[in-house]
Structure 1
């Protein structure tokens, strides 16, 4: 949504108008020409409490992580220095929630050791309410922050407000843009290009129409990595928003490609419609 800041019909239906600041819906509302603050949206702690209450399960289970790694050849699993950019296999686990108000992921190596965390940042209270009562937030700006276990920010991912196709801007810990992940199509197998400046240095290609499995190629078209979505059973698929992925990097990659490859695995749900659920 690239509309300039202005008043629009309230998407929550709670008021006549709500103010769009150019990036997000705000708590400023208007009824019969009288402006006010949506008091319910100022209770940020209440929404965060709801978010915590709707969370369950244990993401940090080495046995489950080994199960997610599955049949990837043991020969391809080696010590990668236990960092986000050097491990050949990354297991990305989303916190299991009945309703998602904050995107939260943990990133593990193949042995089950957590090496990074992913958190959604910069959400207004209004956006959290939208996530609670509707799926309209999928069209708004999303920001993810990836940190190591010492809290150092490694990557920042920004998906500007969208209507149809997505773009994810990938920046390093100093906010310097590394590159972009740009959605190329909307129908059929979903594909993305990996871009640095005006140059395409790789591509992400969905391998089925639901786009749960992705092949990542370098500029020559050679597969350098693969992202596989792992379901934990039909019940969780139907009734929670949790998504889990395994990123298998076939060989050491240089910057900026490695940052874009890692970012791709951490932003699949953010780049695609978050309510596009599927069973396989």
Structure 2
């Protein structure tokens, strides 16, 4: 696992554009305000591009590559075409399978169960799609939070519609591979739930 994922705060900013088909994000260190990761959907197929401008957008496949600015891969997040519930696979910097997450059936507001490579549940993501408040839970313990609002660095930050803050709590050890799955899931909140 790349050491950049040992950080506890990540500010995610989506690239917006009127005729934007690809999902592209930059991830900042909120303390230094430097870009520490780029998330790009580099090889978007022609038909997928067309469908991204229709009501079928949420069903289209995606393959997001997360890199540090020098070009080294950190993660890859992929999903095939979906008609009902999303199953999203996550791969590490060496393209090794890390785990997956799956949208739960009949979950109001959006709920994902996150699994390791052996299909053992490691945490859940719960929240409300009508707001930007999501929590990662390991059992009953909250281990991370995603929000539009963040109180830190001496001032409260209210992000815009396409930006949000991920806070991984210090109880999650720096080497815990759940960090890779959490970051991947945060990108998918936007693609799977918020794009509807």
Place the TM-score, normalised by the shorter chain, in its bin: 0.7 to 0.9
Q: Which 5+ residue runs of structure 2 have no aligned equivalent?
A: 150-157
Q: 2:72 aligns with which of 152, 156, 171?
A: 152
Paired residues of 2:66 and 2:73 also in contact (CA < 8 A): yes
Task: State the match for 1:244 in structure 2.
Answer: 163
Greater strand proportion:
2
Q: CA RMSD in A?
A: 2.1
Using the size of structure 1 for normalisation, the TM-score is 0.60
* Closer/same/farther in 2, CA of residues 195 and 271 from structure 1, 3 Å limit: same
Distance 1:245 1:83 in 2: 22
How many residues matched?
Answer: 183
Q: 1:193 aligns with which of 113, 119, 131?
A: 113
Distance 2:166 2:37 in 1: 14
Q: Which 5+ residue runs of structure 1 have no aligned equivalent?
A: 1-81, 238-242
* Closer/same/farther in 2, CA of residues 270 and 176 from structure 1, 3 Å limit: same
Distance 1:264 1:209 in 2: 14
Q: 1:187 Cα shift?
A: 4.4
Is residue 35 of structure 2 the alignment partner of residue 114 of structure 1? yes
Runs (4+) of structure 1 moved beyond 6 Å? none
Find the residue that maps to 2:88 and give its secondary structure. Answer: strand
Greater helix proportion:
1
Task: State the match for 1:92 in structure 2.
Answer: 12
Distance 2:71 2:78 in 1: 19
Match runs of 1:179-258 below 5 Å = 179-196=99-116, 197-206=118-127, 208=128, 210=130, 212-218=132-138, 220-229=139-148, 243-251=162-170, 252-253=172-173, 254-258=175-179
Greater RCO, CA 8 A, separation 6+: 2
